[in-house]
Amino acid sequence: MSTRRNSTTDKRQKSQYRLAFAEESRGAAPMAFEEGTESELAKRTAESPATEQWVKEVCERENCKQALRRVKANKGSPGIDGMTVEQLPGHLKEHWPAIREQLLGGTYKPQPVKRVEIPKPDGGVRKLGIPTVLDRFIQQAVMQVLQRSWDGTFSEHSYGFRPKRSAHQAVEKAQQYQAEGYRWVVDLDLEKFFDRVNHDRLLAKIAERVSDRRLLKLIRAFLRAGVMENGLVSPAEEGTPQGGPLSPVLSNIVLNELDQELERRGHRFTRYADDCNIYVRSRRAGERVMSNVTRLLTTKLKLRVNREKSAVARPWERKFLGFSFTNHKQPKRRLAPKAVARFKERVRELTHRTRGISLAQMVHELTEYLRGWIGYFGRCETPSVLEELAQWLRRRLRSMVWKQWKRGTTRYRELRKRGIAAQEAAQTAGSSDGPWHLVNTPALKLALSNAYFASLGLPELTAHG
């Protein structure tokens, strides 16, 4: 039954792609979308399109279908017009010919992004700009074309927002440098990088390779679309708002100059988006590199270095992409203290007893968070820390359940139901000790055992360590 339902869903999605991009021009034959077939798009090399072909490639059918799939997979909330991701295929089915005409004619005008603020773990807020779903789709299509042309020219030390590259690889490279004896790090923090990118300089860099003025105009329109906040639209004079698909590749284009300069100077470094670490053999060398690179960033790239957050230090005293390192000759990856603090804060939010949901539902929501967390932080090489967190997590859940039982009679009944002897159940239920102490007693560890939480679906943090 499940296979039939999945097959029906796949057919519906394929139908949406065919309908949305049924014909690109008068007389063009409809081309069925077949999953698994190698498209002409995939066969292309990273060579730049001809002078006036950039926007045409953006609008090319396979590119658009790939962009639509990506936007649908990423989901996300609506922009200022309220259109959802689910409504996008129908909108394209009706309006794509007109939209395509605007793109090819250089007259497409993006809508302002919606301002969303999310709290930063270390205080303050990160300002995101959420484009409309339609603009996200077009940005994705543009990003794919730019990425195919640029990615092969990016530095091998750049790991952020690139195909077949990841934060884990960046962290492993940092670990390798330390094992080779480069045990001082120049930890650069770019102050509000995404908010400070100079538009003219960025577009001039893109224009070195892109000769299609329509695409340059479209990218500038996305950069200058403005931000809607509390019903008012503010113009954007600089920056690439985080939240749209185009921002990451534009940031890599900007920082590729930094990568090239660091390579020219022979530095050992690793960069993921605006997180950049340079590894050297001594503090003196680190301070010299910090001074030179800061001068490069401020004078040439027109960016600011946050001097309070940047430092020359030992790698095990700093964090990089949520990880830190041990100070062994062969360093091991460990969880950064802030990553541990964020984990506990999120678990406390999900397990608060006043949420008014069942334990099974709470564990279900907790499991969704934990699976993502394990997928990333499970790569740490200090399993004892993961085991301590797992013990803390189960103790937290036992404490929450004990508080929910409230009355002594309820607690006694629940303990007896779970196989605890009458005398021990009575002593535990009538104890004046606080929940956090009581849940560490043998009676509650047996009544609410590890196996019990596993039966509810709670994953082991150490299973992927």
Q: Which of 360, 426, 434, 442 is CA-nearest to residue 397?
A: 360
pLDDT reported for residue 302: 86
Quote the mean pLDDT of the chain.
Answer: 87
Q: What confidence tens digit (pLDDT) does each residue in 9-67 have? A: 555 555 555 556 654 443 333 333 333 333 444 444 344 454 568 999 999 999 999 99
pLDDT in tens, 375-423: 999 999 999 999 999 999 999 999 999 998 989 999 999 999 999 999 9
Quote the pTM value: 0.83
Give the torsion through C-alpha atoms of 412, 417, 423, 429, to 10 deg.
-20
pLDDT score of 352: 87
- Quote the percentage of the chain above a pLDDT of 90: 74
Which pLDDT score is estimated for 123? 65
Q: What would the mean pLDDT of 237-244 be, rounded to a whole number?
A: 82
Helix (H, G, I), strand (E, B) or coil at 460: coil
Phi-psi region of 109 (alpha: psi -120 to 50; beta: other; left: phi over 0): beta
- Choose between 15 and 453: higher pLDDT: 453
Cβ(35)–Cβ(10) under 8 Å? Answer: yes
pLDDT one-digit tens code per residue, 284-300? 999 999 999 999 999 98
Provide the pLDDT for residue 20. Answer: 60
